[in-house]
Chains A and B, each alone.
Chain A
């Protein structure tokens, strides 16, 4: 541990790491650069990397032509509300499994996990028909509902692993100190759980934002979030690369920022606590 690392080693590994990082990040960088080009520059061969005519007109066009704001609001509402509802259902469930476990708790947790493993395509037909019959196709409520259920197992699991780390002793100490269950929640549990709650919400917001099976199959226009909005560029209109890039940049920017904040919690959330 406390040993001097040779300068040479640091230089070599730093250079290699930055090179790798840059290569992996490059498609995103290239997309952002292209979004500031004119359509002509976007197609140019050889491509120009920095010395092109910088313009922001693509962003204006994207909003004008395809109503970016409308779809962005859909994305925010769908991802936000589905996360919020999932939290409302999952917090009590995770709390009870973490702090008052029974013999069946483990089975319930694993069963919840297994529902997440059901391929959505396996239930596409009935969900589509139910939605058609209840008029939920292309509705925000329909998408909120299905994304909420789809992410519920992950939310419960993440919260469970966070709650599990709060020492039981502390809650018992609060009980000895005369706190009722309600006050125990407000004064002791919640302040200690806030970081876990926040990162759970963040990760699930991201997952819901990027969800591209149900959104593509169950919405077309009115309720369509950004995933569907971008998919519409796969039509010949996609040939307008600069505009595609501008639209894409707008679509991923919010979660890219959020994602960078939540990256440390990501591993735990996505591996159901199997890797910490």
Chain B
């Protein structure tokens, strides 16, 4: 809707960002595709050879892949469940008249700003240590046997840490959405004789449907690639118990230096992420029209 002169200027201003992102997306991806068809190991230089889909066959049939896929799904699903099932009530609570709400908000949001390596190590040592950790002391206080988190339930321990990091995100988004809920809608429901519970079910929850979807999609994007928390706590172990796809690919690439196989795995990860991204882009796109 602007004049031609501005259109021309606009296009030249847009170009650098588009070109950079295009290169950033295409070049490494093309290389990954290329490497994925090679037998290529950095420890074994000079033996590169074309193997077609051999790497994919190997990666996808590797028991480690199935284990890591399962771990990835359990991790993503559990964290989503925990953050949303807790996030909705916390957001509802913070939407109530609360004295000192600003301070409470700060406390709730804080974990989101803690770098992943810090939160993982603090939880692993200060809280979850089987002997001296705070949880162990609490368990003994109520007469229970302390859990050796990282040996007996390593994946669950990681799930707890990651949930703690992402709960603020879910809460904050849901709270923002709640605050945008038209007060008159609730009043109309009240005039119609709806009790608090019915108001929640018929008015509030449908209003939250969209933000919840957004939370699910965005968290999924990030949770699919959880890495640092595993890297500094369990290193994927014991065995493969906490190896997710991201960590599996990392260890194939930078521990075993198997470039071909890691590239094939990388592409599998891209495909999985794209399935989620497809839905997220559609939701965001629809919002862009409005």
Q: Which residues of A contact B (CB under 8 A)?
A: 1, 5, 9-10, 13-14, 16-18, 20-22, 24-25, 27-28, 30-31, 34, 42-47, 89-90, 92-93, 95-97, 99-102, 106, 108-110, 112-130, 149, 152-153, 156, 181, 206, 209-210, 212-213, 216-217, 226-228, 230-231, 233-234, 238-239, 241, 244-245, 248, 251-252, 255-256, 258-260, 263, 266-267, 270-276
Give B255 Cβ to nearest chain A Cβ, in Å. 11
Residues 224-270 of B contacting A (Cβ, < 8 Å): 224-225, 227-228, 231-233, 245-246, 249-250, 253-254, 259, 262-263, 266-267, 269-270
Of A17, A114, A228, which contacts B98 at CB under 8 A?
A17
Can you give 10 A-B contacts (C-beta < 8 A)? A93-B14, A96-B13, A126-B27, A152-B24, A226-B115, A244-B121, A248-B118, A271-B218, A273-B287, A274-B214
Q: A31-B122, A125-B263, A244-B121 in contact; A99/B114 too (CB < 8 A)? A: no
Residue in B11, B35, B245, B284 with the greatest tally of chain A CB atoms within 10 Å: B284
Once the chains bind, are B288 and A109 in contact (CB under 8 Å)?
A: yes
Once the chains bind, are B32 and A123 in contact (CB under 8 Å)?
A: yes
* Total interface residues in chain B, CB < 8 Å: 110
Of A9, A95, A110, which contacts B281 at CB under 8 A?
A110
Give B216 Cβ to nearest chain A Cβ, in Å. 12
Give B35 Cβ to nearest chain A Cβ, in Å. 6
Residue B154 CB within 8 A of the other chain:
no
Once the chains bind, are A275 and B173 in contact (CB under 8 Å)?
A: yes
Compute how far the CA of A244 lies from the CA of B123 in the bound complex, rounded to whole angstroms. Answer: 12
Q: Which residues of B contact A248 (CB under 8 A)?
A: 118, 121-122
Q: Which residues of B contact A108 (CB under 8 A)?
A: 14, 18
Q: Residues 10-52 of chain B: 1 if any A CB is under 8 Å from the residue's CB, otherwise 0?
A: 1101101110110011011101100100000000000000000
Chain A-chain B contacts (Cβ-Cβ < 8 Å), number: 323
Give A215 Cβ to nearest chain B Cβ, in Å. 9
Q: How would you classify the secondary structure of chain A's contact residues: helix, strand, loop or mixed?
A: helix
Compute how far the CA of A251 lies from the CA of B118 in the bound complex, rounded to whole angstroms. Answer: 8
Give A180 Cβ to nearest chain B Cβ, in Å. 11
Once the chains bind, are A119 and B273 in contact (CB under 8 Å)?
A: yes
Give B188 Cβ to nearest chain A Cβ, in Å. 13
Residue B185 CB within 8 A of the other chain:
no
Q: Which residues of A contact B142 (CB under 8 A)?
A: none
Of B14, B134, B272, which contacts A97 at CB under 8 A?
B14
Q: Which residues of A contact B96 (CB under 8 A)?
A: 9, 13, 17
In the A-B complex, the 8 residue pairs with the closest CB atoms = A96-B10, A212-B228, A126-B31, A100-B10, A259-B113, A92-B13, A123-B28, A93-B17
User: In the complex, what residue of chain B is closest to A157 when comparing beta carbons?
Assistant: B284
Residue B169 CB within 8 A of the other chain:
yes
User: In the complex, what residue of chain A is closest to B30 when comparing beta carbons?
Assistant: A126
Residue B198 CB within 8 A of the other chain:
no
Q: Which residues of A contact B11 (CB under 8 A)?
A: 96
Q: Which residues of A contact B90 (CB under 8 A)?
A: 20
Once the chains bind, are B284 and A113 in contact (CB under 8 Å)?
A: yes
Instruction: Give me 7 other A-B pairs in contact (C-beta within 8 A), A1-B187, A213-B228, A271-B211 excluded.
Output: A18-B100, A27-B122, A27-B126, A46-B137, A93-B13, A118-B270, A120-B225
Give A116 Cβ to nearest chain B Cβ, in Å. 8
User: In the complex, what residue of chain A is closest to B21 when comparing beta carbons?
Assistant: A115
Q: Which residues of B contact A92 (CB under 8 A)?
A: 13-14, 16-17
Once the chains bind, are B35 and A24 in contact (CB under 8 Å)?
A: no
Compute how far the CA of A55 lies from the CA of B109 in the bound complex, rounded to whole angstroms. Answer: 28
Of B111, B214, B289, which contacts A28 at CB under 8 A?
B111
Q: Which residues of B contact A20 (CB under 8 A)?
A: 90, 93, 104, 108
